[in-house]
Amino acid sequence: MSAPVKSRREEFRELMKLAIPIAIAQGGQSLMGLVDTLVVGRAGTSALAAVGLANSLFFAVSGLGMGLMMGFDPLSSQAFGAKNASRARALLWQGGWMALFAGLVLATLVVVVPEVLPFFGYNREELSETRAYLYWRAPSMVPMLAFLTVRGYLQSAGHTRPLVVATVAANIFNLGADILLVFGGGVLPEGFGPLRNIPAMGAAGAALATLLGMFLQLGIILYALRSLGEAGVKPVRRPVWADLRQALGVGLPIGLHLAAEIGVFALAGTLAFKLGQASMGAHQIALSFGSLSFTIAVGIGNAGSVRVGWAVGARNTPQARLSGFVAFAGGAGFMTLSALVFALFPGPLSQLAGASEEVVPLLVPLLMVCAVFQVFDGVQGVGAGVLRGAGDTRFTFVANMVGHYAIGLPLSLVLGFGLNQGIIGIWWGLCAGLIAVAIALLWRFHRLSSETLRPLEA
């Protein structure tokens, strides 16, 4: 007897029930970076450019660690799909160890990166604020990766409310801390006592605010996790190298894919920095807006990953195929709405960002380019999620390498510098790469789900 398959309407309803809180949590991560950008943008163009470059470098390094943590996601969701909650809990503990090991290594790398940039033609004096930001941001690597580990477990368990609570609390805290630490305690009214003596830290203050927000966010979901209790046999809490190797085998291609995707935008940021502070500021603001909408699509992709993983764990390939394609449709639909916002309101968005007079003429056309690739960005973001739920992570890495580095980056260089289109040309090149990746991932899931999908631990 074949396993039951939900109707499209029922599947969409189940997907959205899972996707909305996950998307809020995912979007909240990006919102913290956007708030940093909006607050620091009011401190001057040079500070905005420094934070833009620092964020590009931080996420280029952290992408590998984020992918390693996501290696536990399909293992966990498939374990829940197979009704094996004890196995999922054991994987959570191993994810904690991976977050610690990877976080310490990558945090060290984040501190070292700005010291290498002068060898590539960057002025050491101009990097002072970038260096200060990264020194304060580097310690957030371990709590950020630990949060991703627990988030993956909670979403695989279908227990998503704590993610929303933690995200909202961290963003409210981050906004207040940003204003206080970037501009100093002098912005507070009389009556705040010692807080008025806090010095203005500039770009470094935004990094410190994000670091503290990360610890708050992690603390909230750890408390929620403890309240769930443990089902079945208590898991081994020491490192289990066989489990870590298995998760590494699944997660390393995800990490390389994220590093490739984030890396190409980081390279675009370094190219924009060479074009001048106005180009870098426009690039950072447009990227912050685009990243915010993209994280919602990634949230839908994460929900699709869980739904596909549950179906694969239950050995129900038709349900996995339906879950994947409904997620594709949901991501494309949301990003179409996002594209309309960017296309219709580039001026108001520029004003919201507090862009200076020299940045606005570059930012408005950049937002129009961003509108063009929104749908394709959503499709490739969802595609990475549903393929991850099916246990296929290597193809996504290959598709990103080819799309971004064989197509997107060369076109960015030709259009941006060869044809003197500047930052606009660089972004059109990035757009072409995203389109190629989106088409490849959609084709891959169609082909893969046409055959029997088997659990990773089968």
SS3 content of the chain, % helix, strand, coil (to 5): 85, 0, 15
Q: Residue 450, exposed/middle/buried by CB under 10 A (0-12, 13-18, 19+)? A: exposed
Task: Tell me the C-alpha distance between 315 and 245, whole Å.
Answer: 24
Please tell me the distance from the alpha carbon of residue 60 to that of residue 226, in angstroms, as a whole number.
Answer: 32
Whether the CB-CB separation of 245 and 72 falls below 8 Å is answered with no
Rounded alpha-carbon distances, angstroms, from residue 251 to 168, 246, 256, 300: 28, 9, 9, 19
Nearest residue to 262 via CA among 445, 67, 27: 67
- For position 1, what pLDDT does the model report? 43
What is the pLDDT, as a whole number, of residue 322? 94
CA 137/CA 352 separation, integer angstroms? 25
Neighbours of 158 (CB within 10 A): 13
Return the amino acid letter for 235. P
Closest among 162, 438, 157, 90 to 309, alpha carbons compared: 157
Q: How far apart are CA 448 and CA 35, in angstroms?
A: 40
8 Å CB contact between 429 and 412: yes
The closest alpha carbon to 204, from 135, 138, 269, belongs to 135
Annotate 369-409 with DSSP letters as a single string.
Answer: HHHHHHHHHHHHHHHHHHHHHTT--HHHHHHHIIIIIIIIH
List Cβ neighbours of 104 (8 Å cut-off, separation of 6 or more): 141, 142
Structure pTM? 0.81
The phi and psi torsions of 239 (rounded to 5 degrees) equal -60, 130
Long-range contact set of residues 447-454: C-beta below 8 Å, sequence gap at least 24: 448/387, 448/390, 448/392, 449/317, 449/320, 449/321, 449/324, 449/390, 450/321, 451/317, 452/317, 453/311, 453/312, 453/317, 453/320, 453/390, 453/391, 454/312, 454/315, 454/391
pLDDT of residue 139: 93
* C-alpha–C-alpha distance, residues 128 and 192, integer Å: 31
Residue written as token pair 């259009």: 415
How far apart (Å, rounded) are the C-alpha atoms in residues 336 and 340?
6
Which two tokens mark 352?
């919201």
Q: What pLDDT shows up at residue 200?
A: 77
Q: Taking a C-beta distance cutoff of 8 angstroms, is the pair 211, 253 a contact?
A: no
Q: What is the Cα gyration radius of the chain? A: 22
Q: pLDDT (tens digit, 0 to 9) for every residue of the chain, 458 residues total? A: 456 777 888 888 988 888 888 888 877 777 787 787 778 877 777 777 777 778 878 887 888 888 889 889 999 999 888 888 888 888 999 999 999 999 999 999 999 888 887 776 666 776 788 888 899 999 999 999 999 999 989 988 888 889 889 999 999 999 988 888 888 877 777 766 677 777 778 888 888 998 999 999 999 999 988 877 665 557 777 888 888 898 888 889 988 888 888 778 878 877 887 788 788 888 878 887 888 788 888 889 999 999 999 999 989 999 999 999 999 999 999 999 999 999 998 888 888 777 777 888 888 888 898 898 898 999 999 999 999 999 898 999 999 999 999 999 999 999 988 888 888 999 999 999 999 999 999 999 999 999 988 887 76
Residues 340 and 364: beta-carbon distance below 8 Å: no
Paired tokens of 13? 């309803």
